[in-house]
Amino acid sequence: MLLLVLVAVVTAVVLAIWQPWRSVAAPGAAQTPAPSGSTSPSVPALPTAPSETPAESASAAPAPPPPAPSASGTDPGIAPCTTGDISVLAVTDKDSYGSGELPQLSITLSNTSANPCLINVGTATQSFVISSGSDIWWRSTDCQSESTDQVVQLAAGQTVSSVTPLAWDRTRSSVDTCGGTSRPNAPAGYFHLQVSIGGIQGADTRMFRLR
């Protein structure tokens, strides 16, 4: 499958699938550009304590240190994203594909709430399903060899989209054909892509055509 890297505060886990993601300005949301040459926005500095006079400093007890960040690099005080916080969309690079052209599949997700939240976008939580009518042709999880977890923090109003897509080879998948067994080729016609990530289902399917 693909690997994820969000333009956000991400875990230190190095994944081998679907990397990277790009940040997309959400409609009406103010975006702070990242410094030139960087791939992700800086981690906001912790608030500093107000300055004290020399007399106050001498008499006051030392302030306790700020809480350490979690091992994943995310703020431990941020709540998990809920279905009501996140909008997930299935994306294909084209509406129609000629003979031999492989559909490129991606996911876009947006934090539509007014608060930051945490979501697991690792390969263990990704699902791509291609169907034609009620007939399911292909699942990305059928022959997934490895899966990983990756918890990221999405800012309020932030939208991210995969940069490196997953290519569908236009064949029918099955757990019985993961060892190189030949698979039936998809016929010409209309197909639908359904995605989910972090346990949140895409709001709608994406229709495309094979010619």
List the CATH number of the domain containing 105: 2.60.40.2360
Which range among 25-39, 127-141, 149-163, 171-185 has the greatest average pLDDT? 127-141
pTM of structure: 0.66
What percentage of residues in the chain have a pLDDT greater than 90?
49
What pLDDT shows up at residue 102?
98
Residue 172: how many CA atoms within 13 Å on its side-chain side?
A: 11
Confidence at residue 40, expressed as pLDDT on a 0 to 100 scale: 32
Residue 138 counted as domain residue: yes
Residue 144 has a pLDDT of 86
Segments forming the whole domain that contains residue 191: 21-28+72-172+184-210
5 located within any domain? no
Whether residue 124 lies inside any domain: the answer is yes
Residue 127 lies in a domain: yes
Number of domains in the chain: 1
- Count CB-CB contacts under 10 A for residue 125: 19
Q: Is 155 domain-assigned?
A: yes
Q: Is residue 52 assigned to a domain?
A: no
| pLDDT for residue 172 is more than 60 | yes
Q: Is 39 part of any domain? A: no
The CA distance from 88 to 99, in Å, is 29
Whether pLDDT at 43 is above 70? no
Q: What is the pLDDT of residues 65-119, one digit of tens each?
A: 443 334 445 667 899 999 999 999 999 999 999 999 999 999 999 999 999 999 9
Position 24 scores a pLDDT of 54
Other CB atoms within a 10 A radius of the CB of residue 163 amount to 14
Flag whether 41 is in a domain: no
